Amino acid sequence: MAKPNKDLPSFVVYQPNKKEFHICLEAGNIYYIWRSNYPPTRDNRFARKITRLKGIMPKEIPGKQVYDRGTYSINKGDDKLAVEKKIRQGLRQRSFSFILNGKKLKGRFIIKQTSAGTVLQKFKDKFAAEEDVLGADLSRTIRLMIPGYDPRSIKLPAPEKRKEGAASKKSVAARATGQPPEEPLTADKTIGRIAYRFVFYHSDTGPDCCLVTNDRNEVLVLQKEKNQWQLLKSARGDISKKARALEQHAQALDQLREA
């Protein structure tokens, strides 16, 4: 007969800060811990990349900033000693599954090694549920970058009208030579009938980011990798169709800023 939940080891998922989630599994008198930038998802189509951290004592688990908590087991019918033995075996093998019984997180999950690193993923069972993972992750990323961000309240200003003068003369000269006019590099760029705005964020501890928004309240997040701007999160809507052109404009703007 299976032991009641109170006799099983506990799990805790909490936020030590706004940018991280720690997934903690109790075994003996310590908690094994993995770090993630996002909370575990119930959607089995997606996996969370995680990093193993040094174990801590139960008293070091904070009472606040808890995302979810409860008990866990490896197999149905396990008692506490069986769970502790099996999780240590799984840690040595670097891949194992377990069953969570929390308020938000229920059912079987797996920690496994992939070519991209260690990941946490939900099994497809009765507790699995489709979630808007990309949209939720992107919204959280933006909220971390811009406190108080509300896409419904942000209205981008119309692109500034260019003054007649040197720029107009360049356009006339370009037409005379058969070359397309040179477009000034600004934080505003219009593609077709849609106006885009570029905002750069510098980090001393991580890669730089560029937030691209448009007058339709769509958002694109770019990250600087090896001096090149690349798409950080998947985007939806018209902005996703212009991703390559927006990456190139961000690259040109960044080079102008550094010049």
The pLDDT value given to residue 4: 44
- Measured in whole angstroms, the distance separating CA 215 from the mean position of its chain's CA atoms is 24
Q: Residue 224 pairs with which residues in a beta bridge?
A: 229
The pLDDT value given to residue 1: 35
- pLDDT at residue 72 is higher than 90: yes
Q: Are 89 and 96 in contact (CB under 8 A)?
A: yes
The pLDDT value given to residue 125: 94
Residue 100: DSSP 8-state = E
Kindly report the pTM of this predicted structure: 0.58
The pLDDT value given to residue 55: 87
> Strand 10-17 vs strand 30-36: parallel, antiparallel, or unpaired?
unpaired
- Share the mean pLDDT of the chain: 81
Q: What is the pLDDT of residues 97-110, one digit of tens each?
A: 999 999 999 999 99
Q: What is the mean pLDDT of residues 123-149?
A: 79
Element (H, E) at 116: none
The more confident residue out of 222 and 148 is: 222
For residue 69, name the pLDDT band (cuts at 50, 70, 90). Answer: very high
Q: What Rg value do the Cα atoms of the chain yield, rounded? A: 25
Q: How many helices (H) and strands (E) does the chain have?
A: 5, 14
- pLDDT at residue 161 is higher than 70: no
Q: What is the mean pLDDT of residues 76-89?
A: 90
Q: Which of 32, 30, 74 is nearest to 51 (CA)?
A: 32
The pLDDT value given to residue 102: 95
Q: What is the mean pLDDT of residues 204-220?
A: 80
For residue 74, name the pLDDT band (cuts at 50, 70, 90). Answer: very high
The pLDDT value given to residue 147: 65
Kindly report the number of other CB atoms within 10 A of residue 257's CB atom.
11
Q: What is the mean pLDDT of residues 200-219?
A: 80
Q: What is the pLDDT of residues 118-130, one digit of tens each?
A: 999 999 999 999 8
Which of 99-113, 127-141, 142-156, 200-214 comes out lowest in average pLDDT?
Answer: 142-156
For residue 150, name the pLDDT band (cuts at 50, 70, 90). Answer: low
Element (H, E) at 88: helix 80-93
Strand order in the sheet with 20-27: 47-49, 117-122, 106-114, 96-102, 66-73, 10-17, 20-27, 30-36, 51-56
Q: What is the mean pLDDT of residues 82-108?
A: 93
The pLDDT value given to residue 148: 66
The pLDDT value given to residue 3: 42
Q: Is 257 helix (H, G, I), strand (E, B) or coil?
A: helix
- pLDDT at residue 40 is higher than 80: yes
